């Protein structure tokens, strides 16, 4: 588990992917990037649970898109599961 300063973003590795909680912005996106590159697991879909995200900016969206594109190149998928209302609005 990786936790950013001031508990901005909490990243938990769960079976099949990640659970993210808190806020995703430019100050913590590097931790998210390092958790997603390489993608968790060796094959199959990677689920990213976004139920507890209170804020996400364009840098967070960019990292999720990058992870999706890396997954596609390797024949995998990134699934955004249970997005919070702020995530839905950004998407």
Q: Report residue 76's pLDDT band, with 50, 70 and 90 as the boundaries.
A: very high
> What's the pLDDT score for residue 4?
42
pLDDT digits (tens, 9 = 90+) for 3-36: 444 469 999 999 999 999 999 999 999 999 999 9
Band the pLDDT of 41: cuts 50, 70, 90. confident
Write the DSSP string, 9-68: EEEEEETTEEEEEEEESTTTHHHHHHHHSSPSSSSS-EEEEEEEEEEE-HHHHHHHHHHH
What's the pTM value of the predicted model, to 2 decimals? 0.88
């Amino acid at each position: 588990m990786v936790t950013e300063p001031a508990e901005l973003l909490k990243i938990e590795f769960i079976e099949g992917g990640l659970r993210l909680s808190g806020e995703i912005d430019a100050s913590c996106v590097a931790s998210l990037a390092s958790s997603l590159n390489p993608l968790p697991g060796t094959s199959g879909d990677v689920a990213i649970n976004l139920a507890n995200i209170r804020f996400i900016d364009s840098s967070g969206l960019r990292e999720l898109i990058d992870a999706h594109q890396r997954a596609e190149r390797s024949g995998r998928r990134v699934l955004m599961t249970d997005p919070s209302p702020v995530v839905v609005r950004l998407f």
